[in-house]
Each structure stands twice: as C-alpha cells, then as structure tokens.
Chain A
C-alpha cells in the first residue's frame, strides 16, 4: 500500500463519519520500490493530499526528507516534487495494519493489500 492511497482511505465503521480519517498506520514490513518519476503526475496530486495525515504516516515509517507543506510554486520545484514522488509512490507497506482512530477497529494489510471489509453491524447506514 502506497502512502498516496493511505491518504485517501477512511474508516467506514458505523457512526464514525469523518472522524474515521486518517487511519493510523502500523507497518511490520515496508519495501521501497523505485518508480519512474513523473513530475506532472506528482504536481497534480499535491492539491489532493491531506498534509497532516501524510506527515503522520511518514513519521510512523521513519521517513526523512518529507516536505512539511507544499512549497510556493511547487509545480516547477523539481527537488520538492522528487521528494513527494518518493513519499507518495515509492514507499510500499507490505505487512501491517490500519486502525480506525475512533473505534479502534483494525484493518490488516497483507502482501501490500489492505482489507477494508466490515461486518453489517460496523457499516454506516
């Protein structure tokens, strides 16, 4: 699971609503995958990122060199975009859990794939 994806995920346990975001990340196995740098794509993603959630996840994974906010004129700032590219797309959580911050419900990540399935009691109506 990449951090870009983590940034978009939220818990949908019943009654939790927007407090289900962000999911607390815990990782027991992480892999760094080189991915071809595409500055245009990264620049497009920047406005969609919830920054504090990203920083929280990056810290859990002990990532360094994570920009704390979008730089002014970031679209043309290659160094900034390269760092963001690395954080969002190249760090892959293979094994771990995502935890609903409100209910504590755990969602497992195995082989890089999160399992977000809930029971009927837990889902929102």
Chain B
C-alpha cells in the first residue's frame, strides 16, 4: 500500500536537472493549480537526511521561477506541492547532494495509519485466528465496501473483519457456529489471560473504535443452514472460513437427545460436530452469497490451498458469481491461502437449480478435504517418524 501519491512535475539527479525538467512541464497542466484566487504551500521532504530550516527555505525559494500566482497558506492550502530529495538508503553514508530530486503536486496519502490504529495488539477482543488489521482492510476494499452498505460475515469469530467494513461506514452483522466466541465467553486467546472479561465481545471491539453505531447484530448460527429469509440484502459478504487447522471445521449433526433450545449453557451449544468437508463449505458459501447478495454485491473470502497440487480449476465457481481476483498469501512452504473476490452478476433463481454444482466441483477439490492432514504432514515428517494422523476424526 502506497504512502502518498504525487503528480510528478519534474525530476532530476541534481537541482539544475530538476529545474530544466520543470521548465519543460506543460504550462497548461500547471496553470489550474497556480491560479491567483487559490492558496498553496510548498513542502520539502528529505529521505535519509535532515535539513536545517534555512536549507529548506533556500530550496523552496529557488523555485520562484515557477508561475505561482496564488497566495501561500500554510494551514489549509488548496494545493500542496512537495520537493522530495532522495539521499539513498544508507544512514551511515549520507551524500552531500541528493541522488534524485522530485517536484510534484500532492494528491493523496495511503492509509497506512489505519493499520497501526486498528492493530490487533491493541484490540480488546481477539481470538486465535483474528485477522491481521492490514489484511482486513484489504478485504473490505476488495468488497468495495462503502457507506450505508450492509456487510455480513458468516464465520464472524471475534468480529475482526467487521471492524474494517464499519470503518468505511457499513453496517455490519455476523454469525458463527461457536456460542462462546459470539458471546465472548470461554478461554482467552491473549497470552497471560485465562478467561475472557465481560468487555470482550464483538460489540465491544466496535465500541473501542467508536464504530458501535454500525453494529447490527451477531447470531449463533450454522453457516451451512443459514436462517435468513429469501431475498437480497447484503452488499458484501466478507469472511475467513475455518480451514480446519486452528479452529475446527464443524457443522451441527444428529444426536439422540433433542437439544433444549431455551436452556442456558456455559458450554458451546453445538450438539454434535460433524466433519464438514471443506469443499461443501465453499459450495454452501458461494450458494449463500449468490442468493443473498444484491446484484453487483461482492463475496470476499480466503481459500486454503495445498500449493503443490493447486490449480486454478480448484477455485469454487457459481453461475451467478464472477471471479474478480485471486491473490496468494504463502502460509508455509507447501500451503497458502488465496484471497478470492467474486461479484454477483446474475439473479439467483432457486436453490434446487444449483444442487449439481457440488458434485461437479467436489472431485478436483479432494485435496481441500484433507487440507488439515496435508498441512500437518509437512510438519510431522520433519519432526518425528511417520505417526498416525491425529485428524482421523475430522475426516
């Protein structure tokens, strides 16, 4: 992510070269920003060197030959111009003269400060798999999240992804199958902390950043059997589904006793955990997105892959969703995850129409069902002799 964007007006390896270059810059491109009724200021920024105030002023004054007609306003100018001087990368060998000098009009700053202010380290409520703050903003960007959108996360966990969307002015909601996580109960993920405090839940996370007004609701729910009525009401679905490694992949299953719905229980409410094959989960996710997204709405999610076997055909597809991007992030030497962005381009007809999709896609997908095994196989091979896999119950 860039720090700042400038419109370059001139460049040189010395001051003389810079001035020559500036004099060649088309006048008609300069004039709109130099008008008599406008305000401006010129700043100077040096990389790897500190200049005295006198030196700075000297350099700015040297640009007098430029046809600035407006008034200088140091507080709130309409236009800001920068002289950028590059003194290299070695702080122990700072040259007398810069390697490069640039002059340009400032356009925008990248929002890197967002990453620091939303850092997970400072967040009140975190889980074992809380998303890195920078990545959650990238996901919201991919989802084209904007003010007054409704954004949903079906695997909401501790709500990290919701924060980024709320920051962009979207109203957020989420579901998770884990009762304790949604309620903010149970063992803490933070080192040196045993149990979660009363302050630790998804709503509290939003409150911490002044974004509580964007909190709609969270629910305990199984993403494979969603509880939403027929209709299109989500502008974006942004999520990080479980890969089955740190957080287990679960789904409610049958059991002998019938769950007493209104009983309060400090433990998780999931009656029985079935193994939930990853490929089915992605099929459910795409189908759900195709049905509940508005036309033009986006689905953004992470897809875990076993790199030696990955091919593009493995990326789940759906006739109503168009693949917009597919970016890799390495997790280990043989595993990675891919950030998939899809856009809804076609109206969803009815649920039965798409039931064949699962069988069409499940064969090339087999690798994903044993993603957990593959993830660990690399580790166990290095550490100890071939042992029975601990994940038998998952498969």
Residues of A within 8 A of B (CB): 1-2, 4-5, 8-12, 18, 20-22, 35-36, 38, 40-41, 44, 48, 50, 89, 97, 105-108, 110-121, 123-124
Contact = CB atoms under 8 A, between A and B. Distances in A.
Contact of A5 (B179, B216, B231): B216
A110 B264 CA distance: 8
B262 A117 contact: no
Contact of B148 (A38, A89, A108): A38
B271 A117 contact: yes
B249 interface: no
B177 A117 contact: yes
Contacts of A12: 225-227
B39 interface: no
20 contacts: A2-B217, A5-B216, A8-B231, A10-B228, A10-B229, A10-B230, A18-B229, A18-B230, A44-B148, A97-B261, A112-B217, A116-B175, A116-B219, A116-B220, A116-B222, A117-B221, A117-B270, A118-B252, A119-B254, A120-B254
Contacts of B228: 8-10
B92 interface: no
Contacts, number: 108
B77 interface: no
B269 A117 contact: yes
A105 B260 CA distance: 10
Interface SS of chain B: loop
Nearest to A1: B217
A107 B148 contact: no
Interface string B33-76: 00000000000000000000000000000000000000000000
A115 B220 contact: yes
A120 B252 contact: yes
B261 A108 contact: yes
A10 B227 contact: yes
A118 B262 contact: no
Nearest to A42: B148
Interface centre among B225, B258, B269, B270 (most CB of A within 10 A): B225
A114 B220 contact: yes
B255 interface: yes
Given A105-B261, A119-B255, A8 B229 contact: yes
Nearest to B182: A113
B253 interface: yes
Given A11-B227, A123-B252, A2 B216 contact: yes
Nearest to B351: A124
